[in-house]
Copies of this chain bind each other. A is one copy, B any other.
Amino acid sequence: MPQVSERGILMPASPIRRLAPLANAAKARGTKVYHLNIGQPDVPTPPEGLAALKNIDRKVLEYSPSDGLPSLRKKLKEYYKRFNIEVETDDIIVTTGGSEAVLFAFMACLDPGDEIIVPEPAYANYMAFAISAGAKIVTVPSTIDEGFALPNVDKFEALITPRTKGILICNPNNPTGYLYTMKEMLQIRDLVKKYDLFLFSDEVYREFCYTGAPYISAFHLPGIEEQVVLVDSVSKRYNECGIRIGALITKHPELKKNVMKFCQARLSPPLLGQIVAEASIDTSPEYMLATYNEYVERRKFLIDQINKIPGCYTPIPMGAFYTVVKLPVDDADKFCQWCLSDFSLDGETIFMAPAAGFYTTPGMGKDEVRMAYVLEKDELAKAMKVLAAALEAYPGKTI
């Protein structure tokens, strides 16, 4: 039998989805599984988006342009304006989810052996896309004890080599919920400018900032406009993860051309998702506020509950809808598996994402998990009961 690629062997399995077979097995046994592992909100998709589907009067579901429907791109431009992000329609390339935006950004900017610097913990799939592109992710650790604040910019600078092509940030942050300050963003800006780097900025959670601190886009930073590669997605803000619509935004003329070649190779982003996304941008401020308020409540509830459980600790996330939690266990990966395979409380268990997969530094995050607060409060309450009971019963507990 022919051998598969080394690249594929090197690819990490997703810490978010890797344990799904265990969850499926638990469900097959009749166990209810609370999904804290994945950012799949239970909040309804905007009625405008669903109505657009019902009202499709096309006879042929044809290809769209490779860079997306012009009407969607125009509407996205207006949407970004609300956040003082001044971009032209031509700067916006519609992608198949934010995932494809990251992949194409890496493919079009990085060659094998090139490096990008990323604060860790980081969204695990960045690593996967970097490996796809043959590039190397170099991480600057941030720690739960410091609330995952951005490490001093000196630590980034110390890692710069002739192969460094960019810095990647996710703001508000997945998995930590950290929100970068203007001071931190300006330090990154200075570094990006000084070394002529790309600044990849994943800002898909911009609607979810909870502390009154402002959301700062990479495009708000003066002097590096052509170095910014912004990654966006409609998945999270409109609760339509399944439609797979995102965007890559750049003012770099050569990069636009380069990205377009990757876009043309895959022909077009999904037509139906684009129709839903375009309609969703028109959803009411009431819808957006209700969603926001829902997360504010869930966040407070979840964080309070977690920090009440002996030996558990999580800092207060400032944005997005995730938090990293320290657990009193020998190995969070084992614990997550054990919860799915060996434990249940009244026929229920929980599915969490082991945090080690969000770090590249060996050993980091070993006693941490990522939890998403995308379930309603009653469900979160039950999930936290299961967690407390599981920690009591787990043979590898450390307290």
**Chain B residues with CB under 8 A of A114:** 5
Q: Which residue of B lies closest to A195 (CB)?
A: B2
Stretch from A37-45, A296-304, A325-333 that touches the partner: A37-45
- Are B243 and A267 in contact (CB-based, < 8 A)? no
- Kindly state the separation between the CA atoms of A64 and B197 in the bound complex, as whole angstroms: 36
Given contacts A17-B66, A65-B20, A134-B112, whether A125 and B265 have CB atoms under 8 Å apart is: yes
- Are A7 and B111 in contact (CB-based, < 8 A)? yes
Q: Is A62 an interface residue (CB 8 A)?
A: yes
Total copies of the chain: 2
**Chain B residues with CB under 8 A of A159:** none
- Are B241 and A61 in contact (CB-based, < 8 A)? yes
Interface residues of A in 239-295 (CB under 8 A from B): 239-244, 252, 254-255, 258-262, 264-273, 276
Q: Is A129 an interface residue (CB 8 A)?
A: yes
- Kindly state the separation between the CA atoms of A252 and B8 in the bound complex, as whole angstroms: 14
- Are B109 and A266 in contact (CB-based, < 8 A)? no
**Chain B residues with CB under 8 A of A96:** 96, 244, 266, 270
Tally of contact residues, A, Cβ under 8 A: 88
- Kindly state the separation between the CA atoms of A381 and B267 in the bound complex, as whole angstroms: 27
Q: Is A9 an interface residue (CB 8 A)?
A: yes
Q: Is A337 an interface residue (CB 8 A)?
A: no
Central interface residue in A14, A44, A244, by most chain B CB within 10 Å:
A244
- Are A107 and B63 in contact (CB-based, < 8 A)? no
- Are A53 and B272 in contact (CB-based, < 8 A)? yes
Central interface residue in A12, A20, A129, A271, by most chain B CB within 10 Å:
A271
- Are B56 and A97 in contact (CB-based, < 8 A)? no
Q: Is A6 an interface residue (CB 8 A)?
A: yes
- Are A8 and B265 in contact (CB-based, < 8 A)? no
- Kindly state the separation between the CA atoms of A282 and B264 in the bound complex, as whole angstroms: 31
Interface residues of A in 13-29 (CB under 8 A from B): 13-14, 16-18, 20
Given contacts A41-B60, A53-B272, A96-B244, whether A266 and B103 have CB atoms under 8 Å apart is: yes
Q: List 4 tightest A-B contacts by C-beta distance, closest first.
A: A242-B271, A8-B258, A128-B265, A14-B264
Interface residues of A (CB under 8 A from B): 1-9, 11-14, 16-18, 20, 38, 40-45, 49-50, 53-54, 56, 58-66, 96-97, 99-100, 103, 107-112, 114, 125, 128-129, 132-134, 165-166, 196-198, 226-227, 239-244, 252, 254-255, 258-262, 264-273, 276
